[in-house]
A and B are shown apart, each in its own frame.
Chain A
Amino acid sequence: MNLEAALEEIGKAPTLESLQGLKVQYLGKNGLLTQEMKTLGRLAPEERREKGRVLNEWKEALEKALEAREAWLREQALQERLLQESLDVSLPGYAFPSGGLHITSLILQELVGIFRKQGFSVVEGPEVESEFFNFDAINMPEWHPARDMQDTFWVTFDPGPGFTIRGPFGESVNSLGGAVLRTHTSGMQIRYMIQHTPPFRIVVPGRVFRYEQTDASHEAMFHQLEGLVVGPDITMADLKGAISELARGLFGEEGKARFQPTYFPFVEPGVQFAMWWPERQKWLELGGAGMVHPYLFKAVDDYREQQGLPRAYEGMTGWAFGMGVERLALLRYGIPDIRYFYQNRLSFLRQFRG
């Protein structure tokens, strides 16, 4: 065989397949070089050694050439493929849907998150509420002028299927008075205290309802966040601490809280709180708070006793707060109309992503 010709042939092999053919042709079981190798046995030892050396050199040269050609061919193929496979990556990808939470959920999540960091638990309560929990038990009996502060949606039940308002232990509380769409989340203070032993700290997010004519700043349905901490030595300073932490959580280290006296039947002393919004350099009136009124502790203990539980709230002190959720969002984003929230226009909702 002619080595020069073979090497040239290999160096020109156009495809990997033809290269494989050449490999078989020279180095295969019956390849030309293999044939030559087989003749070695018939030679005299001197000659055999010499020829063997030469043939081995040929073999190495062939193998090297095959390898080099293969590498070259592969590289070529790769380059060709890369050229062919190129995509216009600037085209948009598949439009996978991007979901999200409602703006109210997002704000609530943020508020609740700030309290959870402080060790608060989160619980929820019913929207159709007994007059007892919504009003009477929180020191707002029927004759109390404070009931005028909240225009109430009263509800009745269809006698056919009926409807049951469940108490803290699943018992029906339909007989405790009329039924309302809760006007605030404060009734949950009573429900929670009846069921649990202090000390504890909770927040309660939830929908509330007021019989109001709706306009840009009034909705008949909105959300509140309620907070309640009860223990043997809970103070008004603790309340101020918690509201300050809320302000810092919302507005950063310059956030702070301001307290002014006010009146709610379920707290004494009563507080109206505002938070300092450093970005806009103004106070935001966000809610009411105060020290839990002793009337509530008594109402809770009386209910507990009826249920066969020990009185647990004598000698306890506690604080509670309630704040509007939508209002914070309105102010923060400069939303001009509260009715946007529950019209559920997608072009509104899709702008808020958490």
Chain B
Amino acid sequence: MKTNAIFSVKLRPVVLALLLAVTLSSCYSVRIVSRDGEPEKKAVSSDAGFYRDKVAHRQDTTITLNPIQSDFSLVDPVCPYGFYSVEYRVSLGQALLNMITFGKVKKVKIIYVCNKDC
């Protein structure tokens, strides 16, 4: 019993850290896809699933707003013919960060695919 108690005390921070790591990094994502669009294709297939054959661009950044700013737009420099798909990912940790900072610090993780020049 004593050994178990010591063990559990010693393990507690590890378990807590693991739980935090899992819950804060667990995320949900939303992807919108153009029905009639034609994605820009990769020359050599790589990755798994949806992006295997598509040229995927990734935006992974943190936007900090000042007290008088309410929202922002990310200006895309690489898709002259529009988007084929846009996926927005957010983790619990990122949502918490946004909440704690009253919406002033936003971690942005976006994966998008350009339309082919048709």
Q: A and B bound?
A: no
Taking Cβ atoms with an 8 Å cutoff, the residues of A that contact B are none
